[in-house]
Structure 1
Amino acid sequence: MDSDMTSAHWYLLLGSLLVALVLSRGLLARLLLSSATIYLIFGFIVSLIVRHGNSLNPMHHAELLGRIAEVALLISLFTVGLRMGVPILDRRWFVPLRLAVFSMAITVGLITAIGVWGLQLPVGAAILLGGILAPTDPVLASGVQTERGQDPDRLGFNLAGEGALNDATSFPLVTLGLAMLPKGGLAHLSVWHWMIWDVFWSSGAGIVLGALIGAVVGHVVVYLRTRHEQAVGLDEFLALGVIGMAYGVAQLCDASGFLAVFAAGLAFQRVQDLPRRGTVPLGAASGAVGHEYETLATHSHHASEVMGDAVRNFNAQLEHLAELTVVIIIGALLPGAAPVGALWWFIPTVLLLVRPAAVASGALGMATITRTGAMMAWFGIRGIGSMFYLMYAINHGLSDSLSRLFVALTLGVISASIVLHGASVRPMMRWYDRSLSGLRR
């Protein structure tokens, strides 16, 4: 194929990829290949075909790539929030919170030590590298017990909750690392400002604002539908609107937009019906599978469920597109990454030593020496969050030499994580399910 890729070539390649994924889904499962692995390989091959001058460069296109990763991250966080039926103040959040705070901080600390002693980085740069690589990905971990609901599997709930929360809790450490760099883009940041605003205010305000927006919008829509038969339909706009409102308000208030969007999803899916006096739930429609959408959407016993299902289904499709886009980009960036000799030991150290040590230390006292603990220690999948923070750092004053090093290290860790975790998720889940079945018996 000619190295000059026209729009027709791109349409043909992407269309063929999507159709092939649908047709070969069963075969991929038998080959232990995840869809993310296929996206990664596809992006890598396309980047080799396209001429170097036309390819993406993370240093030149950092703002564009950062925006793409940001949008993908917002979609994934809202979608994860919609899937998790556990109340925000439920005690089951204790484990994901510890993983997202303590284990994340330990991960950053260990990578900082590795960066200083193994990579000869300044302390600020090493902290920044730890902040970039610490977040785990709730989207790429979706193969680990995707159905969570009100009574979720403990493993799936912990991994999804950790991935959603640490995408936000790692941000203060990223800004701290940038502030400690000489001539960094955030060099004006003071310690007190960092503690008060980036750590405490950002997290707390983000959760409160997001929960309020998700709950208020959800209740207003249900009220209008059940009392006035208005605001019916356009559930896709509703999903995007809640994401935009939560993120925008949080950013304007210097709060965590990522936590706000996640909390908005949690609150939105918990909106309850407003049954009208003298009404009863609808039964199955005679001679049909069910009732029309408008009938259910405006009925006071079913409106919230219909609204939640519609928004959840739409966001699930958006999530797949976001994963496709970002992972293809990661694969496309791989051939242009600078060769770094430390990759051969850095990648296994982060995935095989740092993650288990951080989970064991952060969850100390919670009986992690179990199959569930072993699975949590292994499935610390890196993905969209690391990509976003890498581009954020490049956009905020990271030097060219550090940018090239960080691009190589980050893309190497993400790619290895996608391949290894994608190949291992099915056999390990079978092992985990057998262990649960044995315990029940």
Structure 2
Amino acid sequence: MIDVLLLAAGALGLVVAALSERLRRLPLSEPVMALVAGVLLGPAVTGVLDLRPVTEDPTWLHSATRALLAISVMSVALRYPFGAARSRLRPVLLLLAVAMPVMALVTAGLAALTLGVGLGAAALLGAALCPTDPVLASSVVTGGPAEQDLPERDRQILSLESGANDGLALPLVLVAVALAGSEAMGAAVLESLWQVLGAVAVGVAAGWLGGRALRAGEEHGSTDAGPRLLFTAVLALAVLGLSGLIHVDGILAVFVCGLAFNLVSTGSDRTDDAPIDEAVNRFLVLPLFVALGAVLPWAAWADLGWRGPALVVAVLLLRRLPIVWLLRRPLHLGRPDALFLGWFGPIGVSAVFYLVLEAERLRIDPVVLAAGTLVVAASTVVHGVTSSPGRKLYSRITSSDAAGSDAAEPGLTGS
């Protein structure tokens, strides 16, 4: 079974490599291609990949999504110079501190209304589906077409938000688990504090040590270009392992580690590392999404009836877009920017990670996994298909607005 999965992912990798930047201009993304391939190879169609639905056996997804998220958030942390990341601190903090908790509440409310589930199940769905996924967001904000169509500020805000909120969603998940289970709320709060503060400490220390080690190796001529390109990926996995051993938020620790490494290492280090991390992030999604496509719970989705599609439509339209629109002035966003950033807050690998984490922590209602994976699959397809047209539409609107503004200025219209 694993051989078929690797073969399918490898074949898709050849297609992605051959299409290169042209793929970024098509209404198609790498995760969508892999998800569709997984569906075709899975039990629902050909049965080549005979895997059990995720609602029956979700445990293996925990390690897979955790490793992919670590590489992805490290990629985000290295994508821009540290000074650029620091300049976006205010809008990113506003999205993390205000928008993300509100998105969790809105999603929980929508789940309760459409699915008819109780407070605990609704809270579990709201917490798991609230973070913006860095894996899916990277296909929107990276590559030549994105750099041409989107302003740097919007790309940086979406990247940094998606990198940070994956780890910072954990306290919301722990609170939801306490609501749905028998754990005391005080214990959940204390665990959240340890997980977050411990992750920050581990990330800062590991990033500083990693940056200093790389510099020392270069000064002595023992680190050439090849090993340096993979160094941060290995560093991300090391931090993830350490975080697991001491039970802190590993995804947040890796993101903080990347920021600290970015600060300590030289400008050329960051420039060298960012492309390889982005390339790993782009190709590493393929086997996971092929596998995810093969384990989609079609029967459980059918059992949801009309409630499943209703939840999908409600979450995609109401979870994020109205909130970012209302925050556009504090975020200093124009209307096109607020619409773009409000729409492109995809739900993907991070949601699967937290859904599986919730399933491991307590016996959750099967509806939670069924509805959660349905939203993930829908977001993967919808946001993947609309990413290229959305960028082009944004570019066309802003270009028209700029042309109209210039034409209205005295001396430019002939008046």
8 Å CA contact retained: 2:35, 2:293: yes
Aligned match for 2:188, one of 168, 180, 194: 194
Residues 175-201 of structure 1: per-residue CA shift (max 9 Å, x gap): 1121222xx3xx33x333333440x44
Per mean C-alpha deviation after superposition, the further-off stretch among 23-32 and 138-147 is 23-32
Q: Residue in 1 aligned with 2:354?
A: 389
Q: Residue in 2 aligned with 1:46?
A: 41
State the AA in 1 paired with 2:322. Answer: A
Q: How far is the alpha carbon of 1:414 from its aligned partner? A: 1.6
The whole-number CA distance in structure 2 between the counterparts of 1:125 and 1:268 is: 39
8 Å CA contact retained: 2:71, 2:281: yes
State the AA in 2 paired with 1:194. Answer: A
Structure 1 position 230 matched with structure 2 position 217: no
Structure 1 position 72 matched with structure 2 position 68: yes
Q: How far is the alpha carbon of 1:314 from its aligned partner? A: 3.1
The whole-number CA distance in structure 1 between the counterparts of 2:2 and 2:222 is: 46
The whole-number CA distance in structure 2 between the counterparts of 1:89 and 1:12 is: 38
The whole-number CA distance in structure 1 between the counterparts of 2:24 and 2:35 is: 16
Structure 1 residues 16, 238: closer, same or farther in 2, change over 3 A? closer
Q: How far is the alpha carbon of 1:106 from its aligned partner? A: 0.6
Write out the 4+ residue segments of structure 1 that deviate beyond 6 Å after TM superposition. Answer: none
State the AA in 1 paired with 2:309. Answer: W
Q: How far is the alpha carbon of 1:27 from its aligned partner? A: 7.2
Structure 1 residues 318, 346: closer, same or farther in 2, change over 3 A? same
State the AA in 1 paired with 2:178. Answer: A
Q: Residue in 1 aligned with 2:239?
A: 246
Structure 1 residues 433, 215: closer, same or farther in 2, change over 3 A? farther
Q: Residue in 1 aligned with 2:255?
A: 262
State the AA in 2 paired with 1:161. Answer: L
State the AA in 2 paired with 1:397. Answer: L
Unaligned runs of 5+ in 1: 274-303
Structure 1 residues 369, 239: closer, same or farther in 2, change over 3 A? closer
State the AA in 1 paired with 2:222. Answer: Q
Structure 1 position 99 matched with structure 2 position 95: yes
Structure 1 position 209 matched with structure 2 position 198: no
Any idea what SS the aligned residue of 1:325 has? helix
The whole-number CA distance in structure 1 between the counterparts of 2:31 and 2:82 is: 28
State the AA in 1 paired with 2:221. Answer: E
8 Å CA contact retained: 1:247, 1:261: yes
TM-score (norm 2): 0.84
Aligned match for 2:371, one of 403, 409, 430: 409
The whole-number CA distance in structure 1 between the counterparts of 2:51 and 2:176 is: 29
The whole-number CA distance in structure 2 between the counterparts of 1:11 and 1:117 is: 41
The whole-number CA distance in structure 2 between the counterparts of 1:162 and 1:314 is: 21
TM-score (norm 1): 0.80
Please report the RMSD computed on the Cα atoms of aligned residues, expressed in angstroms: 3.0
Q: How far is the alpha carbon of 1:71 from its aligned partner? A: 0.6
Q: Residue in 1 aligned with 2:394?
A: 432
State the AA in 2 paired with 1:381. Answer: P
Q: Residue in 1 aligned with 2:274?
A: 312
8 Å CA contact retained: 1:113, 1:126: yes
Any idea what SS the aligned residue of 1:141 has? helix
8 Å CA contact retained: 1:197, 1:254: no
The whole-number CA distance in structure 1 between the counterparts of 2:370 and 2:133 is: 19
8 Å CA contact retained: 2:41, 2:49: no
Q: Residue in 1 aligned with 2:411?
A: none
Structure 1 position 63 matched with structure 2 position 59: yes
Q: Residue in 1 aligned with 2:345?
A: 380
The whole-number CA distance in structure 1 between the counterparts of 2:310 and 2:244 is: 38
Instruction: Judging by fraction of residues, say which structure has more helix.
Output: 2
Residues 57-78 of structure 1: per-residue CA shift (max 9 Å, x gap): 3244322111101111111011
The whole-number CA distance in structure 1 between the counterparts of 2:25 and 2:390 is: 14
Any idea what SS the aligned residue of 2:222 has? coil
Any idea what SS the aligned residue of 1:54 has? coil
Unaligned runs of 5+ in 2: 407-415
Structure 1 position 366 matched with structure 2 position 366: no
Q: How far is the alpha carbon of 1:128 from its aligned partner? A: 0.7
State the AA in 2 paired with 1:176. Answer: V
State the AA in 1 paired with 2:111. Answer: G
Q: Residue in 2 aligned with 1:283?
A: none
Aligned match for 1:37, one of 16, 32, 50: 32
8 Å CA contact retained: 2:110, 2:314: no
Q: Residue in 2 aligned with 1:164?
A: 163
Any idea what SS the aligned residue of 2:363 has? coil
The whole-number CA distance in structure 1 between the counterparts of 2:221 and 2:30 is: 41
Q: Residue in 1 aligned with 2:412?
A: none
Count of aligned positions = 394
State the AA in 2 paired with 1:124. Answer: G
The whole-number CA distance in structure 2 between the counterparts of 1:362 and 1:169 is: 20
The whole-number CA distance in structure 2 between the counterparts of 1:371 and 1:344 is: 28
Q: Residue in 1 aligned with 2:410?
A: none
8 Å CA contact retained: 1:97, 1:165: no
8 Å CA contact retained: 1:138, 1:164: yes
The whole-number CA distance in structure 1 between the counterparts of 2:242 and 2:8 is: 39
